Amino acid sequence: MSLSAEQLLALVEQGAVRDLDLSGGHYAGLKFDGLRAEGLNLRDADLSGCDLSDAVLVDCQFQGARLSNAVLSRAHFERCDFSGADLSGAHLDDGWWLQCCLSQVQARQAQMQGLTWQHCDLRGLRLPEQIGPALWMDCEAAGLQAVAAQWFQVQVRRTCLADAHLAQGRFEQCAFEHCGLERADLSQIAAPFLSLAFSRLDGACLDGAELSGAIFNYARLPQASARGASLAQASLGHAHAQGLCLSGANLAYADVSYARLQGADLSGAQAKGMRVHGADLHQVCWDGCDKQDLRGDDAPRLQAERWRADARWTLSAI
């Protein structure tokens, strides 16, 4: 049986609390700032509007809990389960979440400045309209929903975002590096200088995206689509982009050195000044493509890169 609000506050005042069953309890609006707790069961509890600032909670259960408009600023959560919880309008500023589950969490209008998620399950999470600054590392976020969101200084590393819906978003000073974005919808995003280096975008949709100066070095883009996208001055060095559709795209002065573009479609694209040094361009479709001043292989550079020391020059051990 859950404790009353008065009983719980009395326990908290005595110090750290452990292994309490508070499921279904009503604790809305209570002040628990600085709480230290482990093993709490708060399933389906009402914690809306409560204050958990600077709290440290380990191995706690919040499944289905109501935390709308709660204050979780600078809180530390480790191995906590929030699946199905309501965090709409909550303040998560400067919090650190390690190995937590936020699957199917509702977080519309939540505040997430300075938030760090590490090794967290974010599948089906409903994010707010404004995201960041934030750091996500080694998370599982397949199917993430964040259409038309504004991302600012969000760094995402080694995170799975397969089938994510990020269309029409605005990304400023953001990076998704070493991430899995297979089949992700990135159509019509505004993301100049976005870094997607070393990421996997197999079958992803980037149609109509503004990606001027974006970084795709060593990324995978086979069978992806970027029709009508702006990739002016973008870098696709060493990218694996077999079958990539770039019809009608702007690739002016882009660098695709050593990219694998076999079977890519550049029909109607603008490729003025594009650098293709060392690129694999077999069976590329150039129909109607503006290739003015296309910059091909740099012979001296290619020769230098292919140089190998003669084995006869190796010094034997004395």
Angle at 146 between CA 151 and CA 74, to 5 degrees: 60
User: Per-residue pLDDT averaged across 159-187, rounded?
Assistant: 97
- State the pLDDT at residue 2: 74
- State the pLDDT at residue 291: 80
pLDDT at 5 exceeding the cut of 80: yes
Q: What CA–CA distance (Å, rounded) separates 59 from 135?
A: 22
Question: pLDDT by residue (tens digit) across 40-75?
Answer: 999 999 999 999 999 999 999 999 999 999 999 999
Residue 271: exposure state from Cβ atoms within 10 A (0-12, 13-18, ≥19): buried
More confident: 281 or 301: 281
Percent residues over pLDDT 70 in the chain: 93
- State the pLDDT at residue 315: 56
pLDDT at 316 exceeding the cut of 60: no
226 within 8 A of 207, measured Cβ to Cβ: yes
pLDDT at 318 exceeding the cut of 60: no
The sheet that has 115-118: what strands, in order across it? 17-18, 36-38, 56-58, 76-78, 96-98, 115-118, 134-137, 154-157, 175-177
Which residues are CB-contacts of 315 (< 8 A; sequence separation ≥ 6)? none
Q: What CA–CA distance (Å, rounded) separates 82 from 61?
A: 7
- State the pLDDT at residue 290: 84
φ and ψ at residue 215, rounded to 5 degrees = -115, 115
Q: What CA–CA distance (Å, rounded) separates 56 from 234?
A: 43
Question: pLDDT by residue (tens digit) across 285-300?
Answer: 999 998 878 876 666 6
Instruction: Give the number of other CB atoms < 10 A from CB of residue 223.
Output: 15
pTM greater than 0.85: yes
125 within 8 A of 104, measured Cβ to Cβ: yes
Mean pLDDT of the chain: 93
User: Per-residue pLDDT averaged across 242-260, rounded?
Assistant: 96
User: Per-residue pLDDT averaged across 7-27, rounded?
Assistant: 91
Angle at 188 between CA 186 and CA 190, to 5 degrees: 90
Question: pLDDT by residue (tens digit) across 120-153?
Answer: 999 989 999 999 999 999 999 999 989 999 999 9
pLDDT at 15 exceeding the cut of 90: no
- State the pLDDT at residue 145: 87
Question: pLDDT by residue (tens digit) across 81-114?
Answer: 999 999 999 999 999 999 999 999 999 999 999 9
Calculate the CA dihedral of residues 9, 13, 18, 21 and round it to 10 degrees: -10
In sign, the C-alpha dihedral spanning 58, 64, 66, 70 is positive
- State the pLDDT at residue 62: 97
- State the pLDDT at residue 296: 67
Q: What CA–CA distance (Å, rounded) separates 141 from 103?
A: 9
